[in-house]
Structures are given as structure tokens and as C-alpha cells.
Amino acid sequence: MILTLTPNPSIDRTVALDGELTRGQVHRVASVTSQGGGKGVNISRAAISADIPSIAVVPAAKDDPFVLELLTAGIDCRPVRPAGNVRVNLTITEPDGTTTKLNSPGAEVLPLHLELMAQAVLVRASSAAWTVLAGSLPAGAPPEFYAELVRRLREVGGRVAVDTSEAPLQALVDGLPTSAPDLMKPNGEELASFTGGDPDELESDPAATAVAARQLIDGGVGAVLATLGGNGAVLVTPEGAWHATPPPTTVVSTVGAGDSSLFGYLLGDIRGLAAPDRLALAVAYGSAAAGLPGTTIPQPSQLRTELVGVTALGDTS
């Protein structure tokens, strides 16, 4: 079972244009889709599609349409008392795959709301193969929320993956080694934000990415899955480092591709795959997601894992 926490969930509304987005102009919309989302929710969706049980902890009212939609999708949703309504995020996609995101902040939380979320995770983590803490934090939450929750999860057992950015990511790194999760999934820009590297260089140079990620391994993190967009991903563990290139993909929407990549890695681990094969499955999931509209999660039948190329990288110490 994969347990996910999405502290700042959203209703993800995707607007697909039939031409290039131009500020100040009237545009014709090709399609509009809307579904409950957020990083952890997306991972739970991917798990259900791959026949892996998943529990999704989210702050929302029990009778909120957001919760009902997840239950209808087969996700075991465990709502906890929210601070307010679920926020709405807007994504605008263009025919060439260019994506523009407009994310709302969500309701401001109190310590009570955060503790309810933490407790909902802590009581279930010992029965999960992985606990995933994912996404931004709501207004009012201290940046250290994830770092502290990782420490508390260590006391109950189970493996922990974290996918976040900005201040919560920095707080997690600042708290190493006591805040070290079993897996972190930064992208090139996020990796550069706390290693001092150049984001463009990391996105284009897998070897440089591996060297930067090694800093996290040295800090106690179990593994680092660094996603690099069209350049694939890099996996670094205490045993080695690998780079995977994606199969040829016509990009439709990159929203949720990183979430799918993270799930692919977790699925590979649950299946007992070796590190290079876990990385290949992660990239296969991410590239398949990028070829689908909105935040659509790929089905296992849509993967092209056999077209992912994996190479071992040299010394990253």
C-alpha cells in the first residue's frame, strides 16, 4: 500500500488552447477538464491504475465533491478537518506542449489542522510500503512541517518519500540528517536551489546533476530521483548513479509528469526491481504522462519502458 499526504490539495482545471497563448488577447478553447489533484493525490491515482492499493490523506470536508470524486475513482480517501475550501489551480496548455500554471494559495491553516493531518498519516504509516509527503504547504504552515513529520515517521517505521519545493524543501535539507527521507524527488531547478549549482547546467548535464544529488546522499537521504524534463532523470543511491533518457514523446502537458515519475520509481521498488530498472520505470511513467492532456495519469498499457535508455554514471563523490 502507498500512503500519500497532500497538505494543499487542489481542483486542477486544465484549459487547452487551439493556438499560442498571447497576453491581452481573446482565445478559443479546445477543451476544459477538471479533477481533484495535488501531488499526493496524483500518486494515489497512479497507484490505483496499477492495481496498487493507496490511501490518500487530504484536508477536506467528508461530503466535499473533491472527496467524493476521489472515492468514485477508487481511491481510499481519508479526509481530515480543513481550514477552508479546496483551492483551484488553473493550467493553460498550448498545442506545442507549452504549459502556463496559475496556482491559488488555499486557506490559511492553524496548528490544529496540521496536527490532524500528521496524526492521520502516523497511524497508518506502519502498514504502508511507502509514505509519500508531496506538494506545497498551505498558508500558515511552517516550512519545517515536512522535516518534522519525517522525524516522527521514523519512530513508527516504514519508508518515506518527499517531493516538495521552495522553503519546505530548504527546511528539509537544513534538517539533515535527522530529517532525511528514504527518497527525495527534486527537479533540476530545485536541486540547484540548495546546492548552489546552475539550474540550466543541471537540467542539461546528468553528471553534474548526479554530483549535486550526491550531497543529499552524503546527508543521509536514501535515494535521490532528480527529474530533468525532456532530458529524463538521474537516480543516485549510496551504491551508484544512473541516467535515463525518455522515449520519443510528443509533449501535450507536463503537469503531473513528475508525480507519475515518482510513482514509477515506487512501483519499481515495490516490485523488487534493481535501481536502474526502477529509474527506467520512473522515466517511462513520466514521459507517458507528458504525452497526455491535463493531469491525466498514464495506464500501465501506455508505458514504453523498453524504449528508455539507462546508463551508469561515473564517480560522483
pLDDT of residue 175: 97
Residue 280: how many other CB atoms lie within 10 Å: 29
Provide the residue-wise pLDDT of the chain in tens; the chain has 317 residues.
999 999 999 998 989 999 999 999 999 999 998 888 899 999 999 999 999 999 999 999 999 999 999 999 999 999 999 999 999 989 998 988 888 999 888 899 999 999 999 999 999 999 999 999 999 999 999 999 999 999 999 999 889 999 999 999 999 999 999 999 999 999 999 999 988 888 888 888 999 999 999 999 999 999 999 999 889 999 999 999 999 999 988 888 777 889 999 999 999 999 999 999 999 999 999 999 988 876 788 888 998 989 999 999 977 66
Say how far apart CA 293 and CA 177 lie, in whole Å: 39
CA distance 200 to 184: 20
CA-based torsion, 252, 254, 256, 259: positive or negative? positive
- 2-7+39-76+106-313: CATH number: 3.40.1190.20
pLDDT of residue 317: 65
Distance CA 285, CA 262 (A): 8
Among residues 12, 64, 259, 269, which one is catalytic? Answer: 259
Is 259 tagged catalytic? yes
Domain ranges of the chain: 2-7+39-76+106-313
Confidence at residue 297, expressed as pLDDT on a 0 to 100 scale: 86
Helix residue ranges per DSSP H, the chain:
39-49, 65-72, 111-122, 145-156, 166-174, 188-195, 199-204, 206-218, 257-270, 275-290
pLDDT of residue 296: 82
Alpha helices by DSSP H, 77-165? 111-122, 145-156
pTM: 0.90
pLDDT score for 232: 93
